[in-house]
Amino acid sequence: MITLALSKGRIFDETLPLLAAAGIQVLEDPETSRKLILPTNQPDVRVVLVRATDVPTYVEYGGADLGVTGKDTLIEHGGQGLYQPLDLQIAKCRVSVAVRSDFDYASAVRQGSRLKVATKYTAIAREFFASKGVHVDLIKLYGSMELAPLTGLADAIVDLVSTGKTLEANNLVEVEQIMDISSRLVVSQAALKLKQARIRPILDAFSQAISKQSVPS
Ligand SMILES: Nc1ncnc2c1ncn2[C@@H]1O[C@H](COP(=O)(O)OP(=O)(O)OP(=O)(O)O)[C@@H](O)[C@H]1O
Ligand SMILES: O=P(O)(O)OC[C@H]1O[C@H](OP(=O)(O)OP(=O)(O)O)[C@H](O)[C@@H]1O
């Protein structure tokens, strides 16, 4: 049996066409089913639904053989025990620093002020501010990061930005782009050794589907 870990929402939705290219169709819709293990049209392939941040952990410890996870999540996890063969070019966004529109970030940095930064992405934020030589107090949050500067919890946030609409709706402005993000296919190193014959064709089909998508028509 091959087990693929996906999270509900954009990762699931955007992985479906790649699975289709590998001849795999998921037989139930996670938005209507309460099941966490979804069968596919391939009797030896199943999908397990986990929190986005748990995908690397499932694959690392053998709860799944493969998984699809954002580069952001992968960096925070550390990536140990995981082979990352493919950038799937899906769920594209960026990790950025944002502040209230009335906060003068540039001069705070120039003056060497200590910044309070709220984020779910503490590893990425720590590394980024350390590389700039900016002293920060990191405040770990698990969601609704945009609220932190509005309530005085933090001076800045490090969060994902795509269209910028969430920042705009909350009167925040993007002041630094830290890195571009897309999702990766991760494979457990153990599964790659033990189930090579079944996993390799799936990797090849994904890889072909991605290269077709990126060729301009
Ligand atoms: N607005 C967005 N546009 C494009 N990609 C995004 C966007 N937001 C998140 N992503 C990518 O999709 C991944 C999954 O995001 P999703 O919102 O489904 O889970 P989450 O709510 O961040 O995770 P968790 O449920 O574990 O807290 C992120 O890790 C990121 O790589
Ligand atoms: O720049 P934008 O296009 O507005 O996208 C950015 C938002 O997208 C993500 O949230 P999402 O909508 O996935 O909600 P959730 O992660 O809080 O569930 C992310 O946490 C940002 O808040």
pLDDT (tens digit per residue) in 29-51: 999 999 999 999 999 999 999 99
Shortest-distance ligand to the CA of residue 53: 1
Does the structure show a pLDDT above 90 at 212? no
Do 189 and 162 share a domain, yes or no?
no
Do 53 and 122 share a domain, yes or no?
no
Do 6 and 67 share a domain, yes or no?
yes
Do 205 and 152 share a domain, yes or no?
no
Whether 181 is in the pocket of ligand 1, judged by its Cβ within 6 Å, is: yes
Ligand 1 pocket mutation, candidates 93, 146, 167, 185, criterion most atoms within 8 A of CB: 93
Do 170 and 189 share a domain, yes or no?
no
| pTM to 2 decimal places | 0.95
Model ipTM?
A: 0.96
Do 74 and 104 share a domain, yes or no?
no
The one-character DSSP state at 53 is G
Report how far ligand 1's centroid is from the alpha carbon of 194 (Å): 31
Task: Check: CB of residue 60 under 8 Å from CB of residue 81.
Answer: yes
Do 86 and 190 share a domain, yes or no?
yes
Do 81 and 100 share a domain, yes or no?
no
In terms of residue numbers, what domain contains 124?
93-181
Do 113 and 168 share a domain, yes or no?
yes
| Overall domain count for the chain | 2
Q: From residue 186, how far is each of 102, 118, 193, 206 by CA, in Å?
A: 41, 28, 14, 12
Do 41 and 85 share a domain, yes or no?
yes
pLDDT of 55-71, one tens digit each? 999 999 999 999 999 99
* Rounded CA separation 116/19 (Å): 42
